[in-house]
A and B are shown apart, each in its own frame.
Chain A
Amino acid sequence: DAGITQSPRYKITETGRQVTLMCHQTWSHSYMFWYRQDLGHGLRLIYYSAAADITDKGEVPDGYVVSRSKTENFPLTLESATRSQTSVYFCASSPSGLYNEQFFGPGTRLTVL
């Protein structure tokens, strides 16, 4: 019944540190997405994945790395966090592709000091 979960829900880190945000879904959806949401910009796609071992860049991929070794997990890594990466990060999944409904996780609020 969990659906899609994200961890941690809140994270404070320092500039230059590596941070990994986790996303796990129990629906076996093929597609998974990472978005960031900032005031004035709305939701912006960072990376997405069509299946295990298949990932592609979205609108704002710089400074982020993703992997998808298993269908259910899609971690997002900030290799060297910057203050501009302070944001709320949402993971989403879709059963049927880029043109169809997406279902969102609860979000991770990340603060980079």
Chain B
Amino acid sequence: QKEVEQNSGPLSVPEGAIASLNCTYSDRVSQSFFWYRQYSGKSPELIMSIYSNGDKEDGRFTAQLNKASQYVSLLIRDSQPSDSATYLCAVNMNDKIIFGKGTRLHILP
């Protein structure tokens, strides 16, 4: 069964520190990987997409992909209280996008 696994959290990180969010997936042939942020009561919002091994940076966000280990992560530098949300990892599998259940991130002021 195709799966995307995330630690549900909550992950508590002090303001200004680096938050590290992890995701593993079961399909070796997956090619597209996405991180979404979802505030409570709101819809998912795309933060990052990554398609190649290595790092991709966008502002305070860095996505890291390791296809050999079937692992994708999201780093948030200089964490802010406004980063407190649930982060969803999404991976393409069997011509669908499969979402993980999300990790709740709490930034401590």
Contacts and interface: CB of A to CB of B under 8 A. Distances in A.
26 contacts: A40-B101, A41-B101, A42-B88, A42-B100, A42-B101, A43-B44, A45-B96, A59-B96, A90-B43, A98-B95, A98-B96, A98-B97, A99-B31, A99-B32, A99-B95, A99-B97, A101-B34, A101-B46, A101-B49, A102-B34, A103-B46, A104-B43, A104-B45, A106-B42, A107-B42, A107-B43
B43 A105 contact: yes
Interface residues of B, number: 19
Contacts of B45: 104
A99 B92 contact: yes
A99 B92 CA distance: 6
Tell me what chain A mostly uses at the interface: helix, strand, loop, or mixed.
Answer: loop
A58 interface: yes
Interface of B: 31-32, 34, 42-46, 49, 88, 90, 92, 95-97, 99-102
B46 A106 contact: no
How large, as a class, is the contact surface on chain A? Answer: 10 to 19
B12 to A, nearest CB: 21
Nearest to B2: A59
Nearest to A43: B99
A100 interface: yes
Nearest to B43: A104
A59 B94 CA distance: 11
Contacts of A107: 42-43
Contacts of B90: 102
A27 B32 CA distance: 22
A78 B49 CA distance: 33
A102 B43 contact: no
A70 B108 CA distance: 47
Contact of B44 (A41, A58, A90, A98): A90
Contacts of A104: 43-45
A40 B32 CA distance: 24
A42 B95 CA distance: 19
